């Protein structure tokens, strides 16, 4: 029963609202000692679990790192940088990111971007800064729209780009499905037929991103008109 000490530590730690990672780590070490494991064996188990669940571990490590970078002015520096580029617009920045995201995903580099790693701290602030430099102060709904389009550029790029990579799990899943139904296809052929779809997705979403600049301009003008009407009405 003493080996269940880890459960007690987790319950008490969470109830006291201690750091979850610290609580789980202490619970694991305590359970190991209760089970007569050496410190070397405990560390070995921790290391093996870390490697097997490396994607979850990287996700847990990514958020604090991004938070520290933002606290140190990452967002502000990205906005200053984009402000120096006169030709930069919101739509062009997102279009460039869509292209890079799709190409890297097609090469198997699906971890290159992401909402937490790239969109939230870099892409979205740069797109907002470009829109502000061109059209002035943005309404809140326009800012939310830019954030949504930044997220969609990431989603579309990685979703259609990764289908071109031959070692991607979806390619093997498609091959297995066809094999079960008596249709034998090479993975390379499945991946090649993903290219027209990826190009079509890039063109369709790219047009939406280019038209985004016009929508932002219209929303800013409408917002300014509403503010002027409110001011005039207040004076009257």
Confidence check: pLDDT of 122 > 70: yes
CA 170/CA 199 separation, integer angstroms: 18
Two tokens, residue 170? 């979806």
Two tokens, residue 186? 């090479």
By the 8 A CB rule, do 72 and 120 touch?
A: no
Total domains in the chain come to: 2
Enter the DSSP assignment of 184. -
pLDDT tier, 229 (very low <50, low <70, confident <90, very high otherwise): low
Two tokens, residue 114? 């992401």
Q: How crowded is residue 14: how many other Cβ atoms within 10 Å of its Cβ?
A: 12
Query: Which of 10-14, 52-56, 79-83 has the lowest average pLDDT?
Result: 52-56
Instruction: Give the helix/strand (H/E) hosting 47.
Output: helix 39-52
Q: Are residues 138 and 104 in the same domain?
A: yes
Q: Are residues 88 and 29 in the same domain?
A: no
Q: Are residues 21 and 133 in the same domain?
A: no
| Averaged pLDDT for residues 16-29 | 82
Q: Which residues contact 94 (CB under 8 A, 6 or more apart)?
A: 123, 127, 149, 150, 153, 209, 212
CA 7/CA 91 separation, integer angstroms: 51
Q: Are residues 127 and 35 in the same domain?
A: no
Q: Are residues 46 and 126 in the same domain?
A: no
Instruction: Identify the residue with better confidence: 140 or 68.
Output: 140
When the pLDDT of each residue in the chain is averaged and rounded to a whole number, the result is: 82
Classify 27 as helix, strand or coil: helix
Torsion on CA atoms 24, 29, 31, 34, rounded to nearest 10: -160
Q: Are residues 142 and 191 in the same domain?
A: yes
Confidence check: pLDDT of 201 > 80: yes
How far does CA 106 lie from the centroid of its chain? 17
Q: Are residues 65 and 145 in the same domain?
A: yes
Q: Are residues 39 and 89 in the same domain?
A: no
Q: Are residues 22 and 117 in the same domain?
A: no
Instruction: Identify the residue with better confidence: 150 or 51.
Output: 150
Q: Are residues 181 and 92 in the same domain?
A: yes
| Averaged pLDDT for residues 207-230 | 84
Q: Are residues 24 and 138 in the same domain?
A: no
pLDDT tier, 56 (very low <50, low <70, confident <90, very high otherwise): low
| Averaged pLDDT for residues 165-172 | 77
Parent domain of 198: 61-235
CA 140/CA 131 separation, integer angstroms: 13
Q: pTM of the predicted model, to two decimals?
A: 0.68
Q: Are residues 173 and 143 in the same domain?
A: yes
């Amino acid at each position: 029963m003493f080996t269940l000490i880890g459960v007690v530590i987790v319950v008490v730690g969470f109830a006291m609202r201690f750091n979850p990672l610290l609580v789980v780590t202490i619970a694991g070490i305590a359970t190991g000692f209760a089970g007569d494991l050496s410190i070397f064996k405990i560390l070995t188990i921790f290391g093996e679990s870390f490697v097997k669940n490396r994607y979850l571990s990287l996700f847990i490590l990514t958020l604090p790192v991004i938070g520290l970078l933002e606290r140190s002015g990452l967002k502000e520096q990205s906005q200053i940088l984009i402000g120096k580029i006169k030709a930069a617009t919101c739509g062009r920045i997102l279009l460039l990111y869509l292209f890079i995201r799709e190409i890297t995903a097609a090469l198997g580099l699906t971890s290159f971007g992401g909402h937490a790693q790239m969109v939230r701290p870099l892409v979205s602030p740069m797109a907002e800064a470009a829109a502000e430099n061109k059209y002035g102060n943005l309404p809140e709904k326009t800012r939310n729209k830019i954030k949504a389009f930044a997220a969609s550029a990431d989603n579309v790029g990685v979703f259609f780009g990764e289908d071109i990579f031959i070692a991607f799990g979806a390619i093997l899943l498609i091959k297995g499905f066809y094999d079960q139904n008596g249709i034998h296809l090479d993975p390379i052929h499945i991946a090649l037929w993903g290219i027209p779809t990826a190009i079509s997705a890039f063109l369709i979403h790219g047009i939406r991103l280019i038209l985004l600049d016009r929508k932002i301009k219209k929303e800013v003008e409408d917002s300014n008109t509403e503010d002027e009407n409110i001011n005039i009405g207040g004076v009257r």
